[in-house]
Amino acid sequence: MSWLDKALRYVETGMAILAGLLLVIMTVSIGMSITLRTLNLQVPLWSVQFNEYSLLWITFLGAAWLLRKGRHVSLDIVTRRLRKGDVGKLQIIHAVFGLVVCGVLTLYSGAVTWNLFQRGVMDVRAVDVPKYLILLVVFLGLLMLTMEFLRNLVVGAHRLRRDK
């Protein structure tokens, strides 16, 4: 395992752990809001806003880790019927397609996030938050997905060449 692969694995694992922590905090926040409403007490203003942001962050923080672990959505019905060599070729096609799509989306989300940062756009709600901080995770998550698809392409190509 190369140092780059190891670093990628550590970053993806750290992002997945952060996603898990956000999920725990979100669960506590929702439970607290329900309890407070039941008791006719004031619910914190930030609760709904935090949970909305958390849903976005959890999605993009955990996506690359799920791809590495092979826990992303796949069509087992199709791949079970293919020969081993054909599955390898399909995995390479999948990696190329994912690399291109995530690469384009990474560039676009980076440009949008940078634009929001430069203009100082704020999300004005219960708590004012700079909009770029909300969307920064989209850029980071897509960047990690792009790198993971690139890793899958390299690994798949080596595996296909080795199995010939």
d(CA 109, CA 119): 15
d(CA 44, CA 28): 13
* Pair of tokens at residue 75: 């069509």
H-run or E-run covering 99: helix 84-119
Q: What is the pTM of this model?
A: 0.88
Query: Taking all residues of the chain, what is their mean pLDDT, rounded to a whole number?
Result: 91
User: Across the chain, how many H-helices and E-strands are there?
Assistant: 5, 2
The stretch 123-131 carries a mean pLDDT of 92
In the chain, % of residues over pLDDT 90: 71
Say if residue 158's pLDDT is above 90.
no
Distance of CA 13 to CAs 7, 51, 62, 98, 135, Å?
Answer: 10, 22, 8, 20, 20
β-partners of residue 129 are 123
**CB of 131 within 8 A of CB of 2?**
no
* Pair of tokens at residue 70: 């092979």
pLDDT digits (tens, 9 = 90+) for 64-80: 999 998 777 666 667 67
Residues in the chain: 164
Specify the DSSP class assigned to residue 75.
-
**What integer pLDDT is reported at residue 163 of this predicted model?**
73
d(CA 52, CA 65): 22
**What integer pLDDT is reported at residue 141 of this predicted model?**
97
Say if residue 10's pLDDT is above 90.
yes
